[in-house]
C-alpha cells in the first residue's frame, strides 16, 4: 500500500465508499450531469435548434452515467486542454453525437457547472451517508440512556466531585445536542450559482434578450434540488458552504466532548470496555484494554474541524470576480468530511463495546458524601437557618468527609426535627434530582425525530 492519505490506505475499508461523492470521478460525473440537464432545460426554451427524439433519449441516458473508460477519456482530453470543464464539454460532444453540438455548454461559464456539481454531490452525501450515520449514533445513545436512566452516576465539575446525576441523563445531554444539529442539517439547503462569467447572465441575455434568463436560472437550479443564489460574481459566494461546514463542525464538537467524557469515565472505572479476543492493548503490558476508538475519533475530529474552519474562511473570500485558489481548496472538502465520517464511525465502535459498571458507579457516588452539602444548605436555608452555606463551607471545604461527620454537624443545629430526619435519611445516590425525567424527555424527543 503506497497511498499518501490514510483515508485511502489504512481507513479505506471505512470511508472508501465515500469516493462516490468526493472523488475526481464523482465530480466529473456530476459535471456531466449538470451539463446534460442544462442541455435538456435549454431545449425546452425552443430558442435554439431542437433535439431530435433520439438525441433527447441519448442525453437522458447520459445523466448519472460515467464509466471508468469514459472518465479516462475526459482526463486524456484534459491533458491537452488543461481545463477540466472544457474537457468535460468536448467529451460530451463526442459521446452524444448531436446534430448541433454547440448546444452543449451554450452560454455557460465553467463555474456554473462546477458549483452546481458540488452542490449535488454534497446534498447526496448529507442525505445518504451523513444523516443516516448521525441517526445510528443517536439511536445507540438513546438505547443506552433508556437503559441507565435511573442509574446513579458520579458527576464532576472542575474535576472534583459534584452533585450526582444518572448515567442516562449524562448521555441525554449529548443526545439533545446531536438531535438539534441533526434537525438543522436536515433543513439545510445547499445553494447554487448559475449566472455566467461575471454573474450577469450576459452571454445568454445578449444572445436572446427576449428570454427571462433570471427566471430560467432559478428554475434550473431548483430542478437540481438547490436554492438559487440571486446575485454573485463568477463563483458561488461560499456563504452556504460555510454554513454547512459550521454545522458539521458543531457536530464534530459534540462528538469530541462525548469522546473526552467516555475516555474519562473509562479511566475512572465507571464505564467498562468489553475485551475483544485476540486484541492487544500494549506491546509490553498484556492487561490493557485501551479506549482506542474514542481516541481515534478525537484525532480525526481534530483534523476534520481544522480543515472545515480553513475552508469556511477561504471559500468566503475571493479576489474580485474570482481566482483559481478556491478550486484547489474545494478539492479538500471531501477530506474534511471523510475525517468527520471516520471519527463518527470510531465513536460508534467505541460505544458498541462499553457498558456501565452500575455497582462501581453507585459506590463511587456513595463515597462522596460531601456532594450532599448542596442539598443540606438549600433545605436549611428554606427553614430559616442563618447562612447555612457559610457554616457548611467552614466545616467541610478541603477536608476528607464521612457521612457520619455530616450527620454529627447536622445534629448540632437548632432546626426542626423533621428537617433533621429528612436530611439524615438522604444518601448521595438519592440526590440525583430530576435526572431520570430529563433523560426520558430527551430520549422521547430523539425517538420522535428518528421516526420521521
Average pLDDT, stretch 89-98? 95
CA–CA separation, 271 and 431 (whole Å): 20
Share of the chain above pLDDT 90, in %: 80
Q: Per-residue DSSP letters for 142-158?
A: HHHHHHTTT-EEEEEET
pLDDT, tens digit (0-9, with 9 covering 90-100), for 1-21: 688 899 999 999 999 999 999
Catalytic residue among 158, 283, 287, 412: 158
Least reliable range by pLDDT among 143-147, 229-233, 331-335, 365-369: 229-233
pLDDT (tens digit, 9 = 90+) per residue, 402-417?
899 899 888 988 889 9
Closest CA to 120 of 193, 30, 184, 186: 30
Torsion angle, alpha carbons of 8, 12, 15, 20, to 10 = 70
Parts of the chain belonging to CATH 1.10.40.30: 364-430
pLDDT range class, residue 305, cuts 50, 70, 90? very high
C-alpha cell at 384: 430559616
| Cα 230 to the center of its chain, rounded Å | 28
Distance CA 434, CA 165 (A): 9
Residue 285 pLDDT level (bands cut at 50, 70, 90):
low
Cα–Cα distances in Å, from 224 out to 92, 93, 115, 124, 414? 19, 22, 12, 11, 75
Q: To the nearest whole number, what is the mean pLDDT of the chain? A: 93
In the predicted model, what is the mean pLDDT of residues 196-213?
A: 94
- Among 27-31, 72-76, 130-134, 195-199, the minimum mean pLDDT is found in 195-199
Which of 233 and 48 is assigned the larger pLDDT? 48
Mean pLDDT across the stretch 148-164?
A: 94
5 carries an active-site annotation: no
Q: What confidence tier does 288 reach under pLDDT thresholds 50, 70, 90?
A: low
Query: Count H helices, E strands: the chain?
Result: 21, 6
| Residue predicted with more confidence, 321 or 243 | 243
Mean pLDDT, rounded, for 293-319: 93
Find the Cα–Cα–Cα–Cα dihedral 336, 340, 341, 346, rounded to 10°. 140
CA–CA gap between residue 295 and residue 278 (Å, rounded) = 20
Cα 427 to Cα 155: distance, rounded to the nearest angstrom = 15
What is the arithmetic mean of pLDDT over 272-296? 72
pLDDT band with cut points at 50, 70 and 90 for residue 287: low
Q: For 371, which DSSP code?
A: G
Q: What confidence score (pLDDT) does residue 283 get?
A: 46
**Quick one: pLDDT at residue 414?**
87
Contacts with 80 (C-beta within 8 Å, 6 or more apart), sequence order: none
Residue carrying the nine cell digits 476534520 = 304
Q: Is the pLDDT of residue 447 over 50?
A: yes
Outline which parts of the chain fall under CATH 1.10.275.10: 12-108
Share of the chain above pLDDT 70, in %: 96
What CATH architecture does domain 12-108 belong to?
Orthogonal Bundle (1.10)
pLDDT reported for residue 152: 97
Are the C-beta atoms of residues 429 and 366 closer than 8 Å to each other?
A: yes
Query: Which one from 282, 325, 355, 448 is the annotated catalytic residue?
Result: 282
Question: Residues 71-76: what's their mean pLDDT?
Answer: 96
Q: Which fold has domain 125-358?
A: Fumarase C; Chain A, domain 2 (1.20.200)
What pLDDT, on the 0 to 100 scale, is given for residue 284?
57
Each residue's pLDDT tens digit, 49-60:
999 999 999 999
Dihedral sign for Cα atoms in the order 121, 125, 127, 128: positive
For domain 364-430, say whether CATH 1.10.40.30 is its number. Answer: yes
Residues sharing a CB contact under 8 Å with residue 6, sequence separation 6 or more, in sequence order: none
Q: What are phi and psi of 152, to 5 degrees?
A: -55, 145
User: What does the pLDDT average to over 386-391?
Assistant: 87
The answer to whether 332 touches 311, Cβ cutoff 8 Å, is yes
* 4 or 287, greater pLDDT: 4
Residue 282 annotated among the catalytic residues of the structure? yes
Domain with CATH 1.20.200.10 in the chain: 125-358
To the nearest 10 degrees (0 to 180), the angle between helices 110-125 and 24-44 is 120
Amino acid at each position: 500500500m503506497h497511498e499518501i492519505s490514510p483515508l485511502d490506505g489504512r481507513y479505506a475499508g471505512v470511508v472508501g465508499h465515500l469516493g462516490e461523492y468526493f472523488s475526481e470521478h464523482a465530480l466529473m460525473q456530476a459535471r456531466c450531469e449538470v451539463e446534460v440537464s442544462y442541455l435538456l432545460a435549454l431545449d425546452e426554451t425552443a430558442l435554439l435548434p431542437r433535439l431530435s427524439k433520439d438525441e433527447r433519449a441519448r442525453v437522458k441516458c447520459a445523466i448519472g452515467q460515467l464509466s471508468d473508460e469514459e472518465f479516462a477519456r475526459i482526463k486524456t482530453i484534459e491533458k491537452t486542454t488543461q481545463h477540466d470543464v472544457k474537457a468535460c464539454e468536448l467529451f460530451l460532444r463526442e459521446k452524444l453525437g448531436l446534430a448541433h453540438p454547440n448546444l452543449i455548454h451554450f452560454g455557460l461559464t465553467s463555474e456554473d457547472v462546477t458549483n452546481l456539481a458540488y452542490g449535488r454531490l454534497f446534498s447526496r452525501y448529507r442525505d445518504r451517508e451523513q444523516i443516516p450515520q448521525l441517526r445510528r449514533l443517536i439511536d445507540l445513545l438513546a438505547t443506552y440512556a433508556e437503559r441507565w436512566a435511573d442509574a446513579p452516576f458520579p458527576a464532576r465539575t472542575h474535576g472534583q466531585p459534584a452533585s450526582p446525576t444518572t448515567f442516562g441523563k449524562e448521555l441525554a445531554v449529548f443526545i439533545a445536542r446531536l438531535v438539534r444539529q441533526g434537525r438543522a442539517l436536515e433543513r439545510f439547503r445547499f445553494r447554487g450559482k448559475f449566472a455566467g462569467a461575471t454573474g450577469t447572465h450576459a452571454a445568454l441575455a445578449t444572445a436572446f434578450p427576449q428570454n427571462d434568463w433570471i427566471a430560467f436560472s432559478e428554475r434550473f437550479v431548483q430542478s437540481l434540488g438547490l436554492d438559487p443564489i440571486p446575485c454573485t460574481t463568477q463563483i458561488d459566494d461560499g456563504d452556504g458552504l460555510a454554513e454547512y461546514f459550521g454545522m458539521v463542525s458543531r457536530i464534530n464538537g459534540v462528538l469530541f466532548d462525548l469522546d473526552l467524557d467516555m475516555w474519562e469515565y473509562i479511566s475512572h472505572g465507571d464505564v467498562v470496555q468489553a475485551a475483544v479476543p485476540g486484541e492487544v492493548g500494549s506491546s509490553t503490558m498484556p492487561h490493557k484494554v485501551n479506549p482506542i476508538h474514542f481516541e481515534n475519533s478525537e484525532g480525526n475530529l481534530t483534523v476534520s474541524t481544522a480543515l472545515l474552519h480553513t475552508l469556511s474562511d477561504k471559500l468566503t473570500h475571493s479576489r474580485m470576480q474570482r481566482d483559481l485558489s478556491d478550486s484547489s481548496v474545494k478539492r479538500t472538502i471531501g477530506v474534511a468530511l471523510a475525517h468527520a465520517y471516520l471519527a463518527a464511525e470510531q465513536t460508534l465502535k467505541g460505544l458498541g463495546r462499553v457498558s456501565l459498571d452500575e455497582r462501581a458507579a453507585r459506590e463511587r457516588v456513595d463515597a462522596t458524601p460531601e456532594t450532599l452539602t448542596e442539598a443540606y444548605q438549600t433545605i436549611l436555608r428554606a427553614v430559616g437557618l442563618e447562612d447555612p452555606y457559610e457554616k457548611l463551607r467552614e466545616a467541610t471545604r478541603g477536608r476528607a468527609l464521612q457521612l457520619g461527620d455530616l450527620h454529627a454537624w447536622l445534629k448540632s443545629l437548632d432546626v426542626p426535627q423533621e428537617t433533621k430526619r429528612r436530611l439524615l435519611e438522604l444518601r448521595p445516590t438519592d440526590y440525583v434530582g430530576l435526572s431520570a425525567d430529563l433523560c426520558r424527555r430527551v430520549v422521547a424527543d430523539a425517538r420522535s425525530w428518528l421516526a420521521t
